[in-house]
Amino acid sequence: MTTDYDKLIEQEKAEAKQICSINGDGSPQCAAAWDAVEEVQAAASHVQSKEKKPNSLQSYCADNPDAIECRIYED
């Protein structure tokens, strides 16, 4: 299960804009709402840098480490 960060970021951003238009740009509520956007964006970029999709050989070898293409003897 992966989170749809793009959707989450869009939601937080829309909320921030709304909160800021009600409370004013300098308000603490506006700051907290943009801070929430920042937090979700940071989380998304950390996930992205961690999750490089394995290529087909890597996923095949994860499932079949004994296959001839996948054996590595560390000697």
Partner 1 sequence: MVSKADRVVLIGVGGDSGCGKSTFLRRLKDLFSKELVTVICLDDYHSLDRKQRKETGITALDPRANNFDLMAEQAAALKSGQSIQKPIYNHETGKIDPPERIDPTPIVILEGLHPFYDKRVRDLLDFKVYFDLSDPIKIQWKIQRDMAERGHSYDDVIRAIESRRPDFSAYIDPQKQHADVVLQILPSELPEKKDGTKKIKAAMVQVEGIPNYDPPYLFDRAISDVCWKPNFPNSDPELTFCYGTTDYFGRPASYLSIDGEFAPDDSPELEQKLRNTSETRFGELASLILKHTDYPGSRDGTGFFQVLIGLKFRSIYEALIAQSLAAAKV
Q: How far is the CB of 62 from partner 1 (least distance, A)?
A: 19
DSSP 1-67: ----HHHHHHHHHHHHHHHHHHH-TTSHHHHHHHHHHHHHHHHHHHHHHH-PPP-HHHHHHHH-TTS
> Least distance from C-beta 45 to partner 1, angstroms?
5
Q: Determine if 11 is a binding residue for partner 1 (CB under 8 A).
A: no
Q: How far is the CB of 53 from partner 1 (least distance, A)?
A: 15
The encoded tokens of residue 61 equal: 């070898």
Q: Which residues of this chain interact with partner 1, rule CB under 8 A? A: 3, 6, 8-9, 13, 15-16, 19-20, 23, 25, 27-46, 48-49
